[in-house]
């Protein structure tokens, strides 16, 4: 029997169905930063209480930076547990972005103060952990636990990129957050990449010094 219908209106439905199946600590998992040319990929895992209500919470990509910053401390306050995992640019280059993302998710789960017994994961790729789990396409719009994780991951990553901007202001990281804007690409072409860049990504690798 399919406990997880593909269409639903209740954004806590996946959590409720998992609890019906016996789960107690359900972690929503999402990441931020798979596509940029620079910076880490950041994953977050969030366990919400049974009765959770935070008006305005949605997929982080649908929210303004100001709204995400407003929601961030509220999620931290209301969540039962929050874990964050980071995979840096050099690790992404070594093992590829998918594997680095999965490592970040694994680290995020490992940093939860409450061990989860069920995972709800945004996307289609399971996390390599021996924990029952469900992958959900567009999960950040369909599950509040995943939406909360998406906000945590995005805010943490944006803050990291702002800190990188202070070290390497010429690239404009505070604005584009490492994504491939024309200004960013032009700067890489003009002065080359820095240590924050993903040298295996197109748009960067063409401008790396050849061995």
Residue 144 lies in a domain: yes
Q: What is the dihedral of CA 160, 81, 7, 60, to 10 degrees?
A: -20
Domain that holds residue 119: 13-162
CATH code for the domain in which residue 157 is found: 3.30.420.10
pTM of the model: 0.93
Do the beta carbons of residue 62 and residue 68 sit within 8 Å?
no
DSSP E strands, 66-132? 81-87, 118-122
CB-CB neighbours of 210 under 10 Å: 3
The pLDDT value recorded for residue 210 is 54
pLDDT category, 9, cuts 50, 70, 90?
A: low
Residue 169 located in a structural domain = no
Nearest by Cα to 45 from 101, 6, 94:
101
Residues above pLDDT 90, as percent of the chain: 86
CB-facing half-sphere around the CA of 172: CA atoms within 13 A? 12
Does residue 170 belong to any structural domain of this protein? no
- The whole-angstrom distance between residue 208's C-alpha and the CA centroid of its chain comes to 27
Write the pLDDT tens digit of every residue in 156-189: 999 999 999 999 999 999 999 999 999 999 999 9
Q: Is 32 helix (H, G, I), strand (E, B) or coil?
A: strand
Residues 129-158 have pLDDT tens digits of 999 999 999 999 999 999 999 999 999 999
Question: Quick check: is 20 in a domain?
Answer: yes
Domain membership flag for residue 7: no
Q: Is residue 63 part of a domain?
A: yes
Cα-based angle 92, 68, 204 (whole degrees, multiple of 5): 25
What's the distance, CA 87 to chain centroid?
11
Structural tokens at position 157: 């990553």
Establish if 2 belongs to a structural domain. no
Number of domains forming the structure of the chain? 1
For residue 6, name the pLDDT band (cuts at 50, 70, 90).
very low
Residue 77: the pLDDT is 95
Q: Distance from CA of residue 16 to its chain's centroid?
A: 23
Cα 200-205-208 angle, rounded to 5 deg: 125
Could you give the CA distance from residue 24 to residue 93 in angstroms, rounded to a whole number?
Answer: 37
Judge whether 206 lies within some domain: no
- pLDDT for residue 63 is more than 70: yes
């Amino acid at each position: 029997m399919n406990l997880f219908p593909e269409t639903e209106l209740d954004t806590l439905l996946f959590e409720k169905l998992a609890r019906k199946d016996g789960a107690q600590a359900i972690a929503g998992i999402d990441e931020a930063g798979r596509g940029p040319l620079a910076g880490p990929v950041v994953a977050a895992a969030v366990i919400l209480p049974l009765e959770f209500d935070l008006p305005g919470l949605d997929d982080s990509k649908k929210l303004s930076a100001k709204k995400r910053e407003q929601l961030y401390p509220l999620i931290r306050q209301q969540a039962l547990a929050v874990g964050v995992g980071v995979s840096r640019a050099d690790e992404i280059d070594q093992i590829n972005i998918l594997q680095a993302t999965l490592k970040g998710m694994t680290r995020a789960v490992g940093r939860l103060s409450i061990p989860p017994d069920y995972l709800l994961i945004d996307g289609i790729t399971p996390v390599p952990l021996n924990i029952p789990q469900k992958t959900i396409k567009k999960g950040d719009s369909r599950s509040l636990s995943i939406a909360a994780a998406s906000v945590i991951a995005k805010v943490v990553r944006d803050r990291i990129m702002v800190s990188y901007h202070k070290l390497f202001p010429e690239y404009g990281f505070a604005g584009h957050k490492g994504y491939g804007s024309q200004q960013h690409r032009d700067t890489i072409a003009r002065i080359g990449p820095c240590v924050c860049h993903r040298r295996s990504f197109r748009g960067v690798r063409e401008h790396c010094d050849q061995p």
